[in-house]
Structure 1
Amino acid sequence: MLTGVQVLLLGGDARQLEVIRKLGMLDASLTVCGFDGLHSPLDGAVHGEYSEELFEGVDALVLPVVGTDEKGVIPAVFSDRELILTADHMARLPSHCKVYTGMAKPYLSALCERRGLGLIELLDRDDVAIYNAIPTAEGALMMAIQHTDITIHGSLCMVLGFGRTGFTMARTLQGVGARVKVGVRRSEHFARALEMGFEPFYMDSLLAESSNIDLLFNTIPTMIVTAQIIANLPSRAVIIDLASKPGGTDFRFAEKRGIKAMLAPGLPGIVAPKTAGLIIADCLAQLILDDSNKRGNGI
């Protein structure tokens, strides 16, 4: 239980509703900001007015999955009020306070570093990333169905990257009957992809391997689907880029060539916010509980 633990949760989207429910169930002393436009009550949470005083005595500061922008603005879809996180706010936090977010831009990282606060990026954790790969793959499959005039069954799909998202994406496509080619860099990934029934190739062969595909799913967050690659794709091909912004695709050239290309980061929060929220909530609650226990034991 989180009885007595002071948690301040700022902004976010539908995923944060599951976090609020979870923390409330664990009896945390929870204050929220950025939910004044929500019509349904938030059981176990107190709505606070955004001020520097609100940060005093906080054990855990919970920010949205995307953290803040480079000016400190905290996204809050359930409020018309702008929440801006500043150094003055952070100065009010106790030194033991941990800051939790999905991913941190340099602005947020600098604020925490300057104040000497622990910053935990949940999406960097293997468990969260692996769980998140499921709604990501389902969302990408939905997009593929919506933006093609063929069935995925029997199509030739290419997945670039065989990490946490690429692995699940390839397996999902295979599950609906697609023929799946997988671009890898490491020999162990080549072996695993081959063992699973995919058609692996090394990334230096991407140009030759891409000439006859129907769908390309990129998970690599560097420019990999270049103009040269796009020029080699058949005109029917569709690119769905799952990498974090700005993606790994030359979208300008794709548009010039008439190839449909979409950047689709953050799919879990779009296609399955409840599931994505539960994933974050379970991990977050355990981390806050562990940190509370360490403080209680004087560690």
Structure 2
Amino acid sequence: MLTGIHAAFIGGDARQLEVIKKFIELDAAVTLIGFDNWESNFTGAVKRPLSADVLRDVDALILPIVGSDDKGYVESIFCSKPLQLTEELLTVLPSRCCIYTGMARSFLRNMAALHNLSLQEFLNRDDVAIYNSIPTVEGALMMAIQNTDFTIHNSISLVLGLGRVGLSMARVLHALGAHVRVGARKSADLARIFEMGLTPFHIDELSQHVDDADLIFNTIPHLVITAKVIANMQHHALIIDLASKPGGTDFRYAEKRGIKAILAPGLPGIVAPKTAGQITANILSRLVFEQMVNGRNQNGSQG
């Protein structure tokens, strides 16, 4: 339970609604900022404008997955007015408050460091990334089916990277009957790929493995599908780049060659916002609960 915790939510998309529901169920006091156009009302939550007065007694400040931009602006699909966090607003947060976001850009990180604010970025946690790999893989499969005229079964499918998403992607493609090749750098990852019954190759040798590829799923967040690689691909091949922007594909050259390449980051929030929101809600409620317990322990030891 989060009884006694004041959580303020600033902006967000459909995923944030699931987090809000969870916090209300756990008896937190919930303030919603930037939800003016949300027609339904949450019983147990109060809508307020963004102001210093609202933030003075907040225990947990919860931002959208993408946090804010480099000027402090926070996106909200439920508000037509711009929401901007400023240094003046953040400095009124009590010392016990923690800011939670999926990822933080320079503005939030700089403000946290400058004013000794507690900031937690949860998107890169192993548990979050593994849970999110499920809707990511489903979304990638949906895109592959929508953009090809052949089955995934019996296709030659390449997965680049054996991280949390790459591992799930390779496993599901194999289960669907694809001939799966996985590119990685680490010798341990290459051994794991072999153990899974898939075909491993070093990522530096990618250009040698794409000449007959039907589908390529990239999870590596830097340029790996270069012009040299694309030059060796067949025209019917499809690239689905799941890495964060700008991805790991030379999209300009792919277009020049007539090869379809799709940048598809953030698929959980697009294809399954309810599930993605529930994943976030479970993780955030646990983190805030731990914050509450740690705060009580510190107060007890000080007393």
Q: Once the 2 structures are TM-superposed, how far is the Cα of residue 65 of structure 1 from its aligned partner?
A: 0.3
Match of 2:125 in 1: 125
Q: Deviations over 1:129-152 (max 9, x none)?
A: 000001000000000000111111
Aligned equivalent of 2:259: 259
- Partner residue in 1 for 2:220: 220
Shift of 1:44: 2.1
Q: Which residue of 2 aligns with 1:289?
A: 289
- Asked if the contact 2:16/2:64 (under 8 Å) is kept, the reply is yes
Which residue pairs with 1:68 in the alignment?
Answer: 68
1:98 counterpart = 2:111: no
Q: How far is 1:43 from its partner?
A: 2.6
After superposition, the C-alpha distances for 1:235-277 in whole angstroms (9 at most, x for unaligned) are: 1111100001111111111111111011100000000111100
CA contact (8 A) 1:223 1:247 kept: yes
- Structure 2 gap segments, 5+ residues each: none
Look up the SS of the partner of 1:7 in the other structure.
strand
> Hey, what's the Cα distance between the residues in 2 that align with 1:46 and 1:176?
47
Distance 1:232 1:39 in 2: 52
Aligned to 1:229: 229
Alpha-carbon separation, structure 1, partners of 2:270 and 2:95: 35
Name the aligned partner's letter for residue 82 of structure 1: P
Q: Does the 8 Å contact 1:21/1:44 carry over to 2?
A: no
**1:165 alignment partner in structure 2:** 165
Task: Write out the 4+ residue segments of structure 1 that deviate beyond 6 Å after TM superposition.
Answer: none
Tell me the distance in 1 between the aligned counterparts of 2:295 and 2:17: 27
Would you say the 8 A contact 1:162–1:189 is kept in 2?
Answer: yes
Residue identity over aligned pairs, in percent, reads: 55
Aligned partner letter, 1:233: M
TM-score, normalization by structure 1? 0.98
Question: 1:53: how far off?
Answer: 1.6
Contact 2:34 / 2:49 at 8 angstroms: preserved in 1?
no
Please list the CA deviations of residues 181-230 of structure 1 after superposition, one character each: whole Å capped at 9, or x if unmatched: 10011111111111111111111211101111001110000111111111
Give the C-alpha shift of residue 231 in structure 1. 1.0
Superposed displacement of residue 120, structure 1: 0.8
SS at match of 1:77: coil
C-alpha RMSD of matched pairs (Å): 0.9
Looking at structure 1, the residues matched to 170 and 42 of structure 2 have their Cα atoms a distance apart, in angstroms, of: 39
Q: Secondary structure at the match of 1:167?
A: helix
Question: What does residue 20 of structure 1 align with?
Answer: 20
Partners in 2 of 1:229 and 1:47 — Cα distance? Answer: 52
How far apart, in 2, do the equivalents of 1:273 and 1:253 lie? 32
Looking at structure 2, the residues matched to 263 and 186 of structure 1 have their Cα atoms a distance apart, in angstroms, of 25
**Equivalent position of 2:240 in the other structure:** 240
TM-score (norm 2): 0.97
Deviations 1:169-188 (A, max 9, x none): 11111121111110011111
Distance 1:261 1:100 in 2: 33
Which residue type is aligned with residue 17 of structure 2?
L
- Give 1:286's aligned amino acid: R
Structure 2 CA distance for aligned equivalents of residues 149 and 261 of structure 1: 15
Other-structure match for 1:249: 249
Q: Which deviates the most, 39-48 or 246-255? A: 39-48
